[in-house]
Amino acid sequence: MVLFSLTILQQFIIAQTSVTITMIRSGLGHTLALMSDGTVRAWGRNSEGQLGLGHTLDQSFPQTIPGLSGVTSISVGGRHNMALLSNQTVMTWGSNNYGQLGIGNGPNQSTPQLVLNLPSVTAVSAGADHCLALGADGGVKAWGRNQRGQLGIYSYVTQYVPVTAIAPNTSQTLPISNICAGGYFSYARYLNAGWVAWGDNTYGQCTFSLSGGTTVLGPMSAAGIIQGHVSVVAGKDHVLALHASGTVKAAGRNHLGQLGIGNLSNVTTSFVTVTTLSGVVELAAGADHSMARMSDGSVKSWGLNSSGQLGGQTASYLNQPYLVYRDAGTLLAGTSAISAGWNSSFALTTASTLYAWGLNDRAQLGLVTTTNQTWPQLVQSISCMVPYSFSVGPIGSSAVGFAIPCNAETGGRTSVPFYQNFFTADPLNATSPGTGPWFGLHANMNEIVLWLSAGQNGLNLAYGALDVLGSASASVAVPPAALAGITLYGVSVALDPLTMMIIADSGVASHTF
């Protein structure tokens, strides 16, 4: 927090800490990014509080979730989220209409909540409306919606708090080592055995030959995949399994080619090999599309392409894998991780940048717009967080000023704003809390509405991309005369364009450089 004195002017240097993205996950209209410092940033749809920001306003660029730290892994369901912390506890937030938060039969939660009655947890996975947690004891807990038996508890009863799906067992063969929650079904891998599945099997996604129905209420062996398949990813109705050798098998619904096997036939009784894939190191499954990250850093995708989620392809769907391009002549390369949302796609690069494409109706791509993207787009507001410093204080004869060395920019110009807000709940130089209303003007009044409606002391601290070019310093200042008779509460600085906003007990026009 920075306080300004109008009588004793001081110079402040503020340095931004450079953090990188380590994991990206997307749901039904919203996206989360786990950062290297253990914090989480969120953007997109927020109608059920799924961004964890304490309100229900959609966000078009990444926002840090207040009070959430020490996170080691995240998982995103339809409209709810899970975060695994370093102390092996679990936090959830968002929609709770089916008890998927595990905190009882209550309302949606717009801030992260601790899930009680769990053992020490080592992995989490969120389905459409249910959750799985893998315990350090080798057992699995489940909670949430259960209309298709996705909890694996041999009933159809929804559970509002965690219950045992697979009992703990610490022998060498029985502990569970992996979990995966699909749309309305679940998978788990035994440490030295194979995979089991349970829940909805309408399209064969659990690979059971059933004569008495399409639902399995408890874990049963999945056909066609073995212990050597090191990971499973699940979409709405389909499943992909990655073998340690880099080959891939698929099962379930295939009406849009999401299995990648060259046809549109469902695979119902045993996983089949995706013959055109080898050298795969990571898989991702969206609602009806699929992705594979290759050992050379390229990405392939297939399935539904209704919103451009396959990356540079024009067909409405593809039934086998194709390479993803950044533009008509450039492959998407150098990737280090991939993720698939409902109809959106994401890729992290080894340079710690994030690309996003596909459905963007709720700004889930983080591009500040709601326009779908056919080609991968750089998410500037989270990728260009370069270290820099700037000065706040007097500039010439001004009362309050802001300056930044323009040569600090390394990420390239972007239309995404950068904001650095300084504020206090007290009038400047006052000793008691301020009681007056907060006012302020800016080039975009909607941004101020968001700042005033959420966050610490009534303001939301938002970061975007640094956008100052050139080699000389840029500055903006407010002269003392403009502040006569006004009680200052703080100062907000925005770049693109370089702007200063005064937070005071009466509106003050912003000053733009």
pLDDT tens sequence across 350-364: 988 899 999 999 999
Q: What is the pLDDT of residues 159-185, one digit of tens each?
A: 999 999 999 976 656 789 999 999 999
Q: Residues 453-466: what's their mean pLDDT?
A: 39
In a domain, 255, yes or no: no
Same domain, 399 and 495: yes
pLDDT band at 462 (very low <50, low <70, confident <90, very high): very low
Give the contacts of 430 (CB within 8 A, at least 6 positions apart): none
Residues 199 and 252: beta-carbon distance below 8 Å: no
* pLDDT recorded at residue 30: 97
Three-state secondary-structure class, residue 457: helix
* pLDDT recorded at residue 72: 98
* pLDDT recorded at residue 173: 60
Token pair of 301 as six digits:
């995708």
* pLDDT recorded at residue 420: 53
Between β-strands 109-114 and 121-126, what pairing exists: parallel, antiparallel or unpaired? Answer: unpaired
Q: Residues 273-293: what's their mean pLDDT?
A: 98
CA distances from 423 to 35, 89, 148, 389, 454 (A): 25, 33, 50, 18, 14
Order of strands across the sheet that contains 71-76: 71-76, 80-85, 90-94, 109-114
In a domain, 194, yes or no: yes
Cα angle 500, 502, 504 (rounded to 5 degrees) comes to 175
Same domain, 82 and 222: yes
In a domain, 35, yes or no: yes
CA dist 273 and 444 (Å) reads 52
Which of 357, 383, 409 is where one domain is finished?
Answer: 383
Whether 202 has a pLDDT exceeding 50, the answer reads yes
Domain count, the chain: 2
Q: What CATH number does the domain containing 64 carry?
A: 2.130.10.30
Give the contacts of 431 (CB within 8 A, at least 6 positions apart): none
* DSSP H stretches of helix in 351-457: 380-383, 445-453
Helical (H) or strand (E) element with 72 = strand 71-76
Residue whose pair of structure tokens reads 């315990």 in the numeric block: 135
Give residue 425's Cα distance to chain centre: 31
Same domain, 467 and 433: yes
Global pTM value: 0.79
Range of weakest confidence among 55-64, 332-341, 403-412, 447-456: 447-456
CA distances from 161 to 111, 130, 131, 144 (A): 18, 11, 10, 8
Mean pLDDT of the chain: 81
pLDDT band at 68 (very low <50, low <70, confident <90, very high): very high
> Which residue type does 286 have?
G
Same domain, 81 and 49: yes
Q: What is the pLDDT of residues 470-484, one digit of tens each?
A: 555 667 777 777 777
In a domain, 64, yes or no: yes
CB atoms within 10 A of CB 24: 27
Same domain, 419 and 364: no
311 closest CA partner among 297, 300, 295: 300
Range of weakest confidence among 13-17, 70-74, 75-79, 332-336: 13-17
Helical (H) or strand (E) element with 345 = strand 344-349
Same domain, 356 and 465: no
Burial class (CB in 10 A: 0-12, 13-18, 19+), 213: exposed
In a domain, 208, yes or no: yes
Same domain, 100 and 185: yes
Q: Residues 211-238: what's their mean pLDDT?
A: 90
Beta bridge partners of 29: none
What are the start-end ranges of the E strands in 17-58? 21-26, 30-35, 40-44
Beta bridge partners of 267: 252
Whether 390 has a pLDDT exceeding 60, the answer reads no
CA dist 169 and 140 (Å) reads 10
CB atoms within 10 A of CB 444: 12
CA dist 147 and 128 (Å) reads 12
Same domain, 437 and 508: yes
CA dist 2 and 488 (Å) reads 12
Instruction: Report which DSSP code applies to 481.
Output: G
pLDDT band at 408 (very low <50, low <70, confident <90, very high): very low
Give the contacts of 70 (CB within 8 A, at least 6 positions apart): 38, 85, 86, 87
DSSP per-residue letters across 129-195: SEEEEEETTS-EEEEE--TTSTT-SSS---EEEEEEEE----SSSSSEEEEEE-SSEEEEEETTS-E
Which of 322, 348, 383 is where one domain is finished?
Answer: 383
CA dist 78 and 485 (Å) reads 51
DSSP per-residue letters across 285-334: E-SSEEEEEETTS-EEEEEE-TTSTTSS--SSEEEEEEE-EEETTEE--S
Q: Residues 235-245: what's their mean pLDDT?
A: 97
In a domain, 322, yes or no: no
CA dist 493 and 510 (Å) reads 10
Beta bridge partners of 200: 215
Residue 102 belongs to what domain range?
A: 21-236+273-294+335-383
Same domain, 105 and 201: yes
CA dist 287 and 258 (Å) reads 9
* pLDDT recorded at residue 208: 86
275 closest CA partner among 263, 288, 287, 289: 263
Burial class (CB in 10 A: 0-12, 13-18, 19+), 7: exposed
In a domain, 147, yes or no: yes
Q: What is the pLDDT of residues 27-59, one digit of tens each?
A: 999 999 999 999 999 999 999 999 999 999 888
Whether 345 has a pLDDT exceeding 70, the answer reads yes
Whether 512 has a pLDDT exceeding 90, the answer reads no
Q: Residues 259-287: what's their mean pLDDT?
A: 97
> Which residue type does 288 have?
D
Same domain, 414 and 364: no
**Percentage of the residues of the chain whose pLDDT score is greater than 90:** 62
CB atoms within 10 A of CB 266: 18
In a domain, 285, yes or no: yes
Same domain, 426 and 492: yes
Which of 383, 412, 439 is where one domain is finished?
Answer: 383
Same domain, 344 and 442: no
Q: What is the pLDDT of residues 298-308, one digit of tens each?
A: 999 999 999 99
